[in-house]
Structure 1
Amino acid sequence: MGFGVAAPRGRRWEVPTAGHFGAYLAETDGVTVHGLRPNPIDDDPSEIGLGVPSTLASPSRLTEPLVRRGYLEHGPGDTRRGLGRRGADTYVPVDWDTATGLVARELDRVRSEHGNEAIYGGSYGWGSAGRFHHPQSQIHRFLNMVGGYTASRESYSSAAMQVILRRVAGGYPAALASNPTWDEVAEHRSLVVAFGGLAARNAQVNGGGIGAHRNVLAQRRARNAGSEFVSLSPLRDDADAELGAEWLPIVPGSDVAVMLALAHTIVVAGDHDTDFLRRCTVGWAEFEDYLLGRGGGIAKSAEWAAPLCGLAPHRIRDLARRIIGRRTVFTTSYSLQRADHGEQPVWAALTLAALTGTFGLPGGGFGAALGALHELGQPRHGFRPAAFDQGESSIWSVIPVARIADMLLGPGTEYDYDGARHRYPDIRLVYWAGGNPFHHHQDLNRLVEAWQRPETIVVHEHFANSLARHADIVLPAATWLERNDFAAGVDSYLSAIVKAAEPPPGVRTDYEIFAAVARDMGFEESFTESRTADEWVVELYDRTRKRVADAGGVLPDWDEFVAAGVIPAPTIAPATPPYRAFRADPDAHPLATPSGRIEIFSATIAGFGYADCPGHPTWLPPKEWGGAPLVQCFPLHLLSGQPERRLHSQYDNGSHSREGKVAGREPVLLHPDDAEARSIRDGDVVRIFNGRGQTLAGAVVTDVIRRGVVRLATGAWYDPITPGGLDVHGNPNVLTPDRGTSKLAQGPSAHSTLVEIERWVGPVPPVTVFGPMPS
């Protein structure tokens, strides 16, 4: 079996490849990737991938193993003993045998002296779209074979949504599998009420890759068929311009107030579906009492909500009237639940879908973050590709994903999570492969301090980014353009990933790195099963073919697949969406909740006694928002959503991401009135600050954003002048709070952030993070 097409020496040719942001053809001479172009099957391609080739030989590329100088001189734990500081040290090159030997001996020492729960396995699912070269699978398999490790649960993207859906609506997977599709929305000419918007930039990416971008095109078809869209967001362009969406620029953090007011208007008019509520829910009476203000409470009317959300009462009532009697989708973006009390908007939207009787209807009901990934809103299929087996941990030690700094700073501390009390382990070794906590974690200055606590930090990285600059042992890893694989997920295609260039000398794949450490520790055979990486790729494809054949489908053999580059996924019908089956017969197809029904009031959650997450959907003012006392000091609400020119922080050093910078740093959007009040002009370098930190950004003055709100996308590589000092590049997470959404989910609360902005005066510090590691 082959992996590509050979060409005469000195000539260039194209090979198929794929990333999280699409399928491409890579122009290569076998040594260098000269460029990417979108695969011709894609009618709406993303340009994110076009900047990747420029990074492969960039000054920030890691090409040899490195060890932090203080770690070499003083040994593990030097930062814990005050003898060194991660983020403020230089690095020493070592050979691979030395590097893997250091890692192996330290893993053995830590598990022998402190137990396997003292090892934290950090990873995130976006390192590669490939089925085999998937860093999360690689590191989990490796650490499970070491004897287990402390892992994380949920994700930064959807933690609060995952936990609340698990408790009241049968789980996150059931919700995703039941999402209405845009084709259904078009068929029923539905009204789409999008809390947090439907930002087209988010649909550029997908966990298992994308053969052809169809999501935004499908939204436009729905609009052309007669569907209507309403975007409730502080940002006008949080919906594709061609949708002609009505923009309701609400105050950030006020979505639940609007949802309750919509519910109140519908219920007072007597237009709620009492039959559906009786058949398919529990707890309506308790919630209705709260909604209508019975027993001395406040009625959650449009007049009540108006000063909270910044909309006139008649606009709320008008939207409620449009919902009544029309098939409606109530969707909540991921951004809403990455905020104080992030469980509440998800629960409240579910309740709206239930009381209107649209829950589980084709083209209606609850939409779990529709459009937030390419797959969400697209037709699902029953095809499931094979994956690299991660094995099982022999210990149970898990933390909520966004509580890393709490864990490192407070070993042994008890905390609440999802109805139980837990205790943080004492982490001595962090091993990270895939993802970058200095991108997705909040309050980076606090994380810098927490990052000094482990005795050893090992990372696999492509570039000298902030994660590499805060590690002890840095192992250079190959990129997705430098290895063979195939991409397949919930997309409608399978994409071949053919190695377009050899990695630089001294760079290995994650698999080769783990295999070498496993050899030093005596279990290489178990880890590799005597297969090379390329043999594993073909093996996983063959297993996928067998699964498809067993389900009555057909896939071509490997060589035919590679020659085609991109092929349609086999047409295997999925199971009936869980919410649809439940709606049809709730007794025969109950949800995975204590009652088997949608729990509008949850006796279980109420029994936990969490003041920050009561037993039914509730308006709880965020700790930081326009109505908080802190607004007197920091009057602007910061939004830090996903960027348009990259996926998270990946390839921020690439040409496409850097072309979008303003004055060499991440752009911040602010309203003309807010700019004028601060003497800020378009293109100025500005300082954004609050009590947690400060960062420099490039001003973009625009009326697409609500007054009193600013937007600074995530993903600019963290570049502080000194550890914990001024970040010069525009990373918003030096400003965001590191606190849980509630005791229930403990998700991140990034979008509950207040700041102030001022024009920077004086010499502008240079951005240095795109250079080589300090030596």
Structure 2
Amino acid sequence: MAANPYVTSSSHWGAFEARAVDGTVQVRAHPADPDPSPLLANLASAVDPAVRIARPAIREGWLRDGPGPSDGRGREGFVEVEWDELIEVLAGELRHVYAERGPRGVFGGSYGWASAGRFHHAQSQLKRFLTCLGGYVSGVGNYSYGASGVLMPHVVGRGVDVTTGLTDWAVIREHTELVVAFGGIPRKNTAMNPGGMVRHTADQHLRAAVGGSVDVVTVSPLREDSPGSTWLPIRPASDVAMMLGLMHVLVAEDLHDPAFLERYCVGAPELLAYVTGRSDGVAKSPEWAAERCDVPADTIRALARRMAASRTLVTVTWSLQRTEHGEQAPWAGIALAAVLGQIGLPGRGFGHGYGSMADVGVPGAGVRVPTLPQGVNPVADHIPVARVADMLLHPGEPFEFDGSTLTYPDIGLVYWAGGNPFHHHQDLHRLRRALATVDTVVVHEPFWTAMAKHADIVVPVTTPLERTDIGASRTDHHLVPMHRVVEPFGLARDDHAVLAALADALGVGDAFTEGRSADEWLRHLYETWATSTGPRLGVDLPPYDDFLASPLLTLPVQPADRTFLDGFRADPDGRPLRTPSGRIELFSATIAGFGYDDCPGHPTWLEPVEWLGSPHAARWPLHLIANQPRGRLHSQLDAGAESRRHKVGGREAVRMHPDDAAERGISDGDVVRLFNDRGACLAGARLDDGVRRGVVQLPTGAWFDPVGDTELCAHGNPNVLTRDHGTSRLAQGTSGQHALVEVERFEGDPSPVRAHRPPDFVERPDRPQLSPPEFTAP
């Protein structure tokens, strides 16, 4: 059979071209991308029938017994049903919940990266639909930089983007002499971006900088995070102690910049009193820091002197704030840069997230992309996204967040579309207990992920390869026509079609669709965007049909001359920051006023519960780093070729130092068991002297694969081991990057990996007829 021609599409790891060939998909990189991601090799698995959801399905126990708390989620089989029945049953349950509990009884979770397309964006579709029904409880913030997202507006003000508004790579290449990278600059993450990137250039910029006049000192337990010549294998979770030690040297040796601190900052006296020990009697000297971070005091002292003598950029990865007290690392990082006095100068100062995302340090078009309006959610109740299990387990209980005391709502229905919390969330056995407490869990999914297997009502939806859309990133300067490559698998429908049918059944069809089909919405979104964007950029944008027929729409790119806070440095009075003082807040009276002992008013060393310096290390002597995977984005397309290539015997690979392995009788390729009080998982051992002694590294994203009713995951998901605890009462961000564990060689026959297999399907059980209350749309 002749192959179809290649058509363009896009993903969060880049644009590409694809075609259908005898029921399979062939993918190649987009010709405009100078550095395409190897993750494109995973895309063919999106049409693999073995992992797809073919038909609508309802959990056996829910269909038999009706809604209610159940520990059968994730354990029971499913009954496949027709679409008409699924729409009727789901519409009836939504009527019931809204009538009995109101919109405060519905959690519109939908946290995830389902598609690079701007219309078929699962979160937007679901939230628009739930808003039409009267609203929902929402999650705010994100798992990526949840702590920084709350902290930084207090420190540098709202409207200052410390993730994508940083100094451009081109400026770094020209002006920077020294980069001190806490957490390193992980190249593996520079392919990823919400909405995708057509031209991946971050890694090229990094290589050119390192190959030129820029030296990088990497402070990380993992050598792979180091692009430069100097690697300081720090004890995990102790970066703040080292930053304080560096500040101590700068102050003690009069290498700091008092004039900058006086002119551009508030709170320097309070911070420096803490650094020197005047406020608490403990000088944060290099010797004090060395005891905690395990970097020699002389090394800290020499580095501080070099930083003062160089054009220095201090950067902190997002990973460092995904820990207990995660607010402290970025706050200490910007304080260190302020003490040096170089913030706002070309190539110098502070950065947050180089190596954490493709668009950090890369200029884009500077315009908004086409977006589906979600409407205004009338429900004010919200939670930080990482507190979903707390919400379900503790309804009615108070919690603190960014200076407010809020109350967890009593949720009856969880509606999830476009994400997999069994990747993002921590302490997965606790998450399972939390999901067992609600009446109904609804999940839209193309694949039989763990979240789909823990649902009551499973809605099979299409993948981006099976629909038309507009690919666009928040910071790229391209729009990509995303063409349908293959027909929808089985009975799968796109999220919009499903929600439109539900909206019709519930009497809000016109409000949800506004009388438009999916194709008409795409035309409307593009034309509305083009009408406003073209004049702003001074260009004539093509009509929608011409855009679809083109390989790519390229917009003018902003000049690559951006320097973080340069305008503020040039005129702090005329261009003040949107902080209470108008200055950089090294001490925040606002945060201090909250009275949080887990997040004081200035950067502070706060010892975490789990690290190699704690008493817990006597029992659990290895520090687990659960970072982002190399072979996939989060857990997406875990069954794909590139993802499988990084596994060992079909299980996720755990890297550990050869000496730590030898002490435990572990050889390369062995099946090992990682465990602590929260759970255990199996993984394949990879010995690597680029991992610091006492540290093991197991990436996130292996599909959760529980073995019966045990606490064991057969596939290697590290979040059975991580602690579900907020970073602090300020941000309540995720702290799942680190945990203490032990590792042992697994003896006997390990459980087979079943993560990519569908659940059991059963015959329809008998069920009494339900008569839900009437529901009246708002």
Give the structure-1-normalised TM-score: 0.96
SS in 2 for 1:512: helix
Q: 1:284 to 1:249 in 2, by over 3 A?
A: same
CA distance in 2 between partners of 1:620 and 1:335 (Å): 17
1:738 to 709, 721, 724: 724
Which deviates further from its counterpart, 622-631 or 489-498?
Answer: 489-498
SS in 1 for 2:6: strand
Cα drift, residue 11 of structure 1: 3.8
CA offsets 1:738-761 (integer angstroms, 9 cap, x no match): 011111111111123100000000
1:503 to 481, 488, 511: 488
CA offsets 1:601-650 (integer angstroms, 9 cap, x no match): 11111111111111110001111000000101100000011001100000
Cα drift, residue 570 of structure 1: 2.8
Q: 1:353 to 1:403 in 2, by over 3 A?
A: same
Cα drift, residue 269 of structure 1: 1.5
Q: 1:597 to 1:157 in 2, by over 3 A?
A: same
What letter is aligned with 2:517? T
How does 1:679-758 map onto structure 2 within 5 Å?
679-723=665-709, 725-758=711-744
Which deviates further from its counterpart, 662-671 or 384-393?
Answer: 384-393
CA contact (8 A) 1:180 1:365 kept: no
Cα drift, residue 491 of structure 1: 1.7
CA offsets 1:649-696 (integer angstroms, 9 cap, x no match): 000012221122101100000000000000000000000000000000
1:237 is matched with which residue?
224
CA contact (8 A) 1:383 1:571 kept: no
CA distance in 2 between partners of 1:407 and 1:768 (Å): 30
Say yes or no: does 1:381 pair with 2:373: no
CA offsets 1:186-229 (integer angstroms, 9 cap, x no match): 11033111111111111111002110211100111222331111
CA distance in 1 between partners of 2:112 and 2:421 (Å): 13
2:33 is matched with which residue?
42
CA distance in 2 between partners of 1:460 and 1:375 (Å): 29
CA offsets 1:17-47 (integer angstroms, 9 cap, x no match): 1100111110225x73431011122121111
CA distance in 1 between partners of 2:229 and 2:49 (Å): 41
Say yes or no: does 1:322 pair with 2:313: no
SS in 1 for 2:162: helix
Cα drift, residue 569 of structure 1: 2.4
1:281 to 244, 251, 265: 265
CA contact (8 A) 2:363 2:557 kept: no
2:139 is matched with which residue?
152
Which deviates further from its counterpart, 720-729 or 315-324?
Answer: 720-729
2:65 to 64, 71, 74: 74
CA distance in 2 between partners of 1:119 and 1:22 (Å): 34
1:416 is matched with which residue?
400
Say yes or no: does 1:133 pair with 2:120: yes
Which deviates further from its counterpart, 159-168 or 729-738?
Answer: 159-168
SS in 2 for 1:503: coil
Say yes or no: does 1:673 pair with 2:659: yes
CA offsets 1:361-411 (integer angstroms, 9 cap, x no match): 232211121120000111243222220001111110100111111110000
1:97 is matched with which residue?
84
> Structure 2 regions of 5+ residues with no counterpart?
762-778
What letter is aligned with 1:269? E
1:448 is matched with which residue?
432
CA contact (8 A) 1:485 1:537 kept: yes
Q: 1:633 to 1:154 in 2, by over 3 A?
A: same
CA contact (8 A) 2:626 2:738 kept: no
CA contact (8 A) 1:555 1:570 kept: no
Identical-pair percentage: 47
Cα drift, residue 493 of structure 1: 2.2
Cα drift, residue 293 of structure 1: 0.7
How does 1:41-440 map onto structure 2 within 5 Å?
41-79=32-70, 85-171=72-158, 173-240=160-227, 244-440=228-424
CA distance in 2 between partners of 1:35 and 1:362 (Å): 44
CA contact (8 A) 1:383 1:569 kept: no
CA distance in 1 between partners of 2:586 and 2:238 (Å): 20
CA contact (8 A) 1:381 1:573 kept: no
CA distance in 2 between partners of 1:135 and 1:771 (Å): 24
CA distance in 2 between partners of 1:380 and 1:331 (Å): 21
Say yes or no: does 1:540 pair with 2:532: no
CA offsets 1:435-478 (integer angstroms, 9 cap, x no match): 11111100001111011011000000011110011000000010
SS in 2 for 1:753: strand
CA distance in 1 between partners of 2:172 and 2:204 (Å): 13
CA contact (8 A) 1:177 1:578 kept: no
CA distance in 2 between partners of 1:379 and 1:607 (Å): 38
1:4 is matched with which residue?
none
CA contact (8 A) 2:46 2:463 kept: no
Cα drift, residue 245 of structure 1: 3.5
SS in 2 for 1:52: helix
CA distance in 1 between partners of 2:323 and 2:143 (Å): 11
Cα drift, residue 270 of structure 1: 1.1
CA distance in 2 between partners of 1:759 and 1:686 (Å): 4
Cα drift, residue 125 of structure 1: 4.4
What letter is aligned with 1:732? P
Cα drift, residue 722 of structure 1: 2.1
CA distance in 2 between partners of 1:125 and 1:766 (Å): 28
1:627 to 609, 613, 620: 613
CA contact (8 A) 2:675 2:742 kept: yes
Q: 1:408 to 1:87 in 2, by over 3 A?
A: same
CA distance in 2 between partners of 1:190 and 1:454 (Å): 55
CA distance in 1 between partners of 2:80 and 2:496 (Å): 21
CA offsets 1:286-343 (integer angstroms, 9 cap, x no match): 1111100114521111111112111111111111111113222111111110101000
Which deviates further from its counterpart, 631-640 or 564-573?
Answer: 564-573
1:13 is matched with which residue?
5
Q: 1:153 to 1:115 in 2, by over 3 A?
A: same
SS in 2 for 1:324: helix
Q: 1:331 to 1:576 in 2, by over 3 A?
A: closer
CA offsets 1:497-543 (integer angstroms, 9 cap, x no match): 11101112311001111111111111112111122212222222222
1:3 is matched with which residue?
none
CA distance in 2 between partners of 1:444 and 1:263 (Å): 39
CA distance in 2 between partners of 1:149 and 1:708 (Å): 45
What letter is aligned with 1:418? D
CA contact (8 A) 2:110 2:122 kept: yes
CA distance in 1 between partners of 2:107 and 2:405 (Å): 20
Which deviates further from its counterpart, 54-63 or 466-475?
Answer: 54-63
Cα drift, residue 86 of structure 1: 0.7
CA distance in 2 between partners of 1:644 and 1:576 (Å): 30
Which deviates further from its counterpart, 587-596 or 631-640?
Answer: 587-596
CA contact (8 A) 1:487 1:494 kept: yes
CA contact (8 A) 2:655 2:691 kept: yes
For the aligned residue pairs, the C-alpha RMSD in angstroms reads 1.6
Which deviates further from its counterpart, 453-462 or 223-232?
Answer: 223-232
What letter is aligned with 1:722? G
Give the structure-2-normalised TM-score: 0.95
CA distance in 2 between partners of 1:423 and 1:315 (Å): 48
1:556 to 542, 547, 563: 542
CA distance in 2 between partners of 1:381 and 1:317 (Å): 42
Say yes or no: does 1:607 pair with 2:593: yes
CA distance in 2 between partners of 1:498 and 1:33 (Å): 16
2:773 is matched with which residue?
none
SS in 1 for 2:691: coil
